[in-house]
Chains A and B, each alone.
Chain A
Amino acid sequence: MREISFSEATLEAMSEEMERDERVFIMGEDIARQGGIFGQFKGLPQKFGVERVLDTPISETAIVGAGVGAALAGMRPVVDMHFADFITVAMDEVVNQMAKVCYMFGGQCSLPLVLRAPDGIIRSAAAQHSQSLEAWFLHIPGLKVVIPSNPADAKGLLKAAIRSEDPVLYFEHKALFATKGPVPDGDVLVPIGKARVVREGADVTLVSYSLMMNKVLKAAEKLAQDGIEAEAIDLRTISPLDKDTIFASVAKTKRLVIVHEAVKTGGVGAEIAALVAEEMLDYLDAPIIRLGAPFVPVPFSPALEKLVKIEVEDIVKAVQGICQ
């Protein structure tokens, strides 16, 4: 299969969906003339015109609010948040408008709106440009949250998000944009709400997503050398969580480790751990382990930044600790 970068994969998804449906357009800061901070929009304005690839003012509330309004008026907007951290500027629009309108208006409307949000730690971007905020939106009924870990899913999930009748937050890790991987040709969608068992194993279940998924797979290989066979699940969708896939794996392995780059406290791992504790406690042979960032903003200095990141070794050690 051909290999392309994560960034190119998202570009293909945009291009194919804009070609397929003229209601699809994208707006955000620095996307048309600059092509996006990570080059993820390069070539789109040349192909579709600056009417459908809109450079906006630095006005997050206006961008997200107008996305909601345009979707209610029959369009299918994709809104780029520049950095996921800046979603916080538009929280009313995301939480009180985008998440609520379908339900609050009694299902009169649908809201086909995608927010693209580059997140995660990269190159000392510091506290306001490095966050992973996906758990905030898991807490809000009415939103769907997807978070690919590789180029194929990046394309397939973005296409599915654009075709979804529901509002979708699409988190894309900044450190993934340049990574390459196999991507199938053509119109291949990744279903929203379905996790994927990336690696099968009988001894422990590793649940992760986004950039951390790559570290989890490396950790699984190392563990295999020690005779521990880990089952690795890539969530791909944070909301709605694919409980069935997680539970089926835990029923088999009886051990669970959840890994994410986001702050551990109140993170996605906390929700999964609680679900398993509530419904599957009898299956467990060891305590559930969560690996996530310590409870501190992402610091600037490389010497400090590395202390908040989860590394392959951390995962290996955590698993060894419960598989003795």
Chain B
Amino acid sequence: MSYDTEFLLQLYRQMVKIRTFEEKAQELFLAGELPGFVHLYIGEEAIAVGVCENLRQHDFITSTHRGHGHCIAKGADIERMMAELYGKRAGYCKGKGGSMHIADFSIGMLGANGVVGGGYNLAVGAALACKLRNEDGVAVCFFGDGASNRGTFHEALNMAAAWKLPVLFVCENNQYASTTPYRMTTAVEDIAVRAQGYGMPARIVDGNQVLEVYETARELIEAIRAGQGPVLLECKTYRVKGHYVGDPELYRTRQEVEMQVANSDPLKHFSQKVIAENGLTEGQLAAVRSEVGAGLERAVEKARAAEYPGHTELFAGLYAESEVQ
């Protein structure tokens, strides 16, 4: 398949935006600037970007505790994201949510979710809403290999399949469920085989190759939009960073991580490919990196300067309606 330069640069820009955001989040967290926990998406950028480039603004996604990449790929504003990481009023959730709970309802981003496996059924419900309204919207549910062992996986996939709902279930199989290697707690190599038990088609792709993810997701999302029912897409990838920033990573060796990064880093792979095969230049890619980097620096500066929420905001947003109607 041939792609125009602008599209390839867009994929690159989105992946770089995620990578840069995550590297900065790590740096800021280690410097003690960010409260809470931070779970990094580094190494998995190709999945969020490859899938979300196929979505419209009003399509829905649900995300995970490792959700920054999904937010950025769906079009979230990194300034409001960064402010949220700091717990500032200018953040997406006015400082009420933090890294694990960023949402942007204006772009169908129904929220990162602190509960592993908590997003499946929200996506099913959003897809049900699309179906009930006779709209051709789709819902994408991102989840990990660890979450595939939640009971919610079973209930969501069964109900979505039984009702032929427009959902794409995207498994990011990054080999680790928190600190436990995936194969230690799961008897099958591929999560995708489970789809058969729900009467649902499934596909497996190399989740480190953004064009492979993009092309497969495009085909699946078109079919789902046309009413053919849900699909499970398993993307094989690798979690380059620990479960959270600060994780001592006692469950794997540095060599394993280095080998994975050397062989399958999605950004490195994509850069080499587009330069070798599509005629892009290192200069074009460098320009993207520098533009993204400058935007991120501005986001950090603004977030640092922003105000914390005041005590009068403690109860704001608890109910949409006042206590007595």
A residues sitting closer than 8 Å to B (CB atoms) are: 25, 51-52, 56-57, 59, 61-62, 64-75, 77, 92-93, 96-97, 101-111, 141-142, 144, 160, 164-166, 191-194, 240, 242
Contact = CB atoms under 8 A, between A and B. Distances in A.
B54 interface: no
Contact of B152 (A25, A62, A164, A192): A62
B94 interface: yes
Given A96-B115, A107-B316, A164-B321, A69 B152 contact: no
B265 to A, nearest CB: 33
Given A102-B317, A142-B318, A62 B121 contact: yes
Contacts of A101: 103, 111
B130 A104 contact: no
Contacts, number: 163
A106 B91 CA distance: 9
A65 B158 contact: no
28 contacts: A25-B132, A56-B159, A59-B159, A65-B118, A69-B139, A72-B111, A72-B122, A73-B129, A74-B133, A75-B128, A92-B115, A93-B118, A96-B118, A97-B118, A102-B319, A104-B96, A104-B111, A105-B96, A105-B105, A105-B317, A106-B92, A107-B317, A109-B103, A142-B318, A160-B325, A166-B321, A191-B324, A240-B323
Nearest to B125: A69
B191 interface: no
B114 interface: yes
Interface of B: 60, 62, 91-97, 101, 103-105, 110-111, 113-115, 118, 120-130, 132-133, 139, 151-152, 155-156, 158-159, 162, 316-321, 323-325
Contacts of A67: 125
Contacts of B62: 69
B122 A106 contact: no
B307 to A, nearest CB: 14
Given A73-B126, A105-B97, A65 B325 contact: no
Contacts of B124: 62, 65-66, 69
A103 B324 contact: no
Contacts of B325: 160, 164, 191-193
B121 A66 contact: yes
A106 B94 contact: yes
Contacts of B130: 73
Given A69-B110, A92-B118, A106 B97 contact: yes
Given A61-B152, A92-B115, A97 B122 contact: yes
B320 A103 contact: no
